[in-house]
Amino acid sequence: GPAPLSPPLDPLPSAPRMTQTISSENLRALFEADQIDALLAARRMVRLRGAARAELNGQVVEAEDLLVDLTDDQRPLAWARGGVRYGQGAIDATVEDIQIDLATRTGLLTNARLEVALESVRRLRDLLDPDEQPDRLIITAERAETKLIDTARRGERRVFEADGVRVTLPTKRDPQLGLRARHARLQMGPSGRLDDHVDFFQANNARLMFGDKPAFSLPRLHVGKGGVYLPMAGVNGTHGVWVETVFGWQFTPELRLRVTPRLGTTHLISGSVSLEHISKLGKFGLNATLRERTLLPVQRTPVSYARLPEISWESPRFQLGRRLGHLEVQTGVGYLKEYGTVSGWRARAEAQWVNQLLHTPTTGFQLHARTRYSWGEGGYQYGWAGLGASLEHVFFRRLWVQAGIHQRYITGSTPFRHELVETPLEVLSEARLRLGNHWVIENHLAYDVNNGQFSDQRAGLLRRDGLLEYGLLVRTLPSFELQITADVLGF
């Protein structure tokens, strides 16, 4: 069991730093501290006090007070207290105590408090004032386990599994938004930053909180690059009255399962399931969907389809240079069933290039290009290549406006209606107006240049409490539907 450290000792007098090196067949240990005491009785113990630093087979532990057990040189153990830093990079953490198994690179923390920086690009559309924008997460846990893992695709990652968790997004304006969870998992990059990874945070039995007041409870909560995945509800012509949420399980840092069930009054159950594996070669997936829908803007009708299943591959993101943007490639093959029309095998290949040429606190400008090609049973071939640009600007911190244009060049034909591109040249506009501190009005329009008509129209009235935004979205084109939505801002 743990060898608890003694109570804090009196400050050490000023003295030269002490160093000590221990080498064996399986271990090389380097110690540095204001004071080093070797306790070589029944167990080989080393006590370090005052800005202590221990390096064991390349792994570094730093703290004000360190106790290292070298009895088994294949499995050294360490206990640390005060200003603990462990592993590659630093974490701003305070813990009552930490026990570290340096062989498995696992640390057990008691009463831990972690601060994690948020480095994501701020969304202009959030319309947050400077004192509302969070720059870090504060995580407290009664008990936590931290482990350094070498993943195939993303190098060394740090994973936290914690019980009795409270997470806060601190801002300079109340109410403060946070959550409490019975159990949570957090994945971070090597420098103590949030990992650039979908579902970098997962929590079980979570309660979103305004200060100490609960907003609502969720059996499972996910936070990823797209924001916080909250339940949704709505009404449309395909599913009737429906509700949808997300469940996920991360079996290893490389393997995860996500289930998105949707309950509706028309077809009872639909949704999607995906099993994904991430490696140096990219993301491999096995995906199944039931009664997904897309809207045909010219025919003014929804089309439902299913993938039963599809095997897919998504490349790593290729950064083409500081000013040349990034490129991503996807492929997939599977069996498609389009309700009321056809079914059969289909293969697809896609590539997308995005270049963010300008991003300031008030203005953003982006160029993008995308191409897609599919082929399948009966010898059909269908594809298109497109170019586009978008410009966004914030006026007086209260009005966000975005305008864009997309041109696509089409070849071939497809029996699957949900693949059709009915608006080759489209002009888009979107606006969000913040009224006071608590209300947002938004509107989205798309204009089909070829047919001379609007192809999409959506409007919303949203309530904002701190960083939580929720409300009602109404779509009138190409068909009528309602949706209740919620989002956490600042990511």
User: In this structure, are residues 33 and 49 in contact, taking their beta carbons and an 8 Å threshold?
Assistant: yes
d(CA 181, CA 139): 11
Cα torsion 214, 216, 219, 225: sign: negative
According to DSSP, the β-strands at 136-151 and 97-101 are unpaired
If phi > 0 it is left, if psi is from -120 to 50 it is alpha, else beta; for residue 280 that is alpha
d(CA 241, CA 56): 59
pLDDT value at 8 more than 50: no
Q: Map tokens 């269908």 to a residue.
A: 382
pLDDT for the residue 215:
74
Identity of the amino acid at 88: Q
DSSP string for 74-98: TS-EEEEESS-EESSS--EEE-SEE
26-223 topology per CATH:
lipopolysaccharide transport protein A fold (2.60.450)
Over range 327-343, report the average pLDDT.
94
According to DSSP, the β-strands at 326-338 and 318-319 are antiparallel
Non-local (6+) Cβ contacts of 74 within 8 A are 26, 27, 103
* pLDDT higher at 200 or 448: 448
7-25 b/e (C-beta count within 10 Å ≥ 16 → b): eeeeeeeeeeebeeebeee
pLDDT value at 197 more than 70: no
Count of residues making up the chain:
491
Residue 308 φ then ψ, to 5°: -135, 70
User: In this structure, are residues 170 and 134 in contact, taking their beta carbons and an 8 Å threshold?
Assistant: yes
Reported as a single tens digit per residue, the pLDDT across 242-292 is 999 888 777 776 788 889 999 999 989 999 999 999 888 889 999 999 999
pLDDT value at 448 more than 70: yes
pLDDT band at 154 (very low <50, low <70, confident <90, very high): low
User: In this structure, are residues 87 and 105 in contact, taking their beta carbons and an 8 Å threshold?
Assistant: yes
Cis peptide before 175 (omega within 30 of 0): yes
d(CA 89, CA 395): 39
Q: Please state, for a pLDDT cut of 70, what percent of the chain lies above it.
A: 87
Structure tokens at 300: 């003014």
Reported as a single tens digit per residue, the pLDDT across 11-43 is 444 456 788 887 777 778 888 888 888 766 566
* pLDDT higher at 163 or 86: 163
pLDDT for the residue 42:
60
Per the DSSP assignment, residues forming a β-bridge with 77 are 69, 101
Is residue 324 exposed (0-12), middle (13-18) or buried (19+ Cβ within 10 Å)? exposed
Reported as a single tens digit per residue, the pLDDT across 340-378 is 889 999 999 999 999 999 999 999 999 999 999 999 998
- Alpha-carbon dihedral 331, 357, 223, 236, rounded to 10 degrees: -70
pLDDT value at 151 more than 70: no
User: In this structure, are residues 199 and 215 in contact, taking their beta carbons and an 8 Å threshold?
Assistant: no
If phi > 0 it is left, if psi is from -120 to 50 it is alpha, else beta; for residue 219 that is alpha
Q: Which helix (H) or strand (E) holds 144?
A: strand 136-151
Mean pLDDT, the chain, rounded, equals: 84
- Alpha-carbon dihedral 150, 121, 332, 419, rounded to 10 degrees: 170
pLDDT for the residue 384:
98
Cα distance between the two ends of the chain: 40
pLDDT band at 230 (very low <50, low <70, confident <90, very high): confident
- CA separation, residue 58 to residues 30, 102, 192 (Å): 9, 10, 18
d(CA 490, CA 123): 7
pLDDT band at 2 (very low <50, low <70, confident <90, very high): very low
Reported as a single tens digit per residue, the pLDDT across 88-138 is 444 556 666 778 887 777 888 888 887 777 766 678 999 999 888 887 778
